[in-house]
Amino acid sequence: MSAPQFDLRSRLATGEPFLFSWMSIPSAELAAQVARLPFEGVALAMQHGVIGFSDAAPMIAAINAAGRPAIVRTLWNSPEIPGQALDAGAVAVIAPMVNTRAQAELL
Q: Is 83 a catalytic residue?
A: no
What distance in Å separates the CA atoms of residue 50 and residue 46, rounded to the nearest whole number?
A: 6
3 state DSSP class of 60: helix
Q: Say how many C-beta atoms besides its own lie within 10 A of residue 86's C-beta.
A: 14
Decide: 32 and 68 in contact? Cβ < 8 Å.
no
What distance in Å separates the CA atoms of residue 35 and residue 30, rounded to the nearest whole number?
A: 9
Given 7, 37, 48, 104, which residue is catalytic? 48
Question: Which residues are annotated as catalytic?
Answer: 48
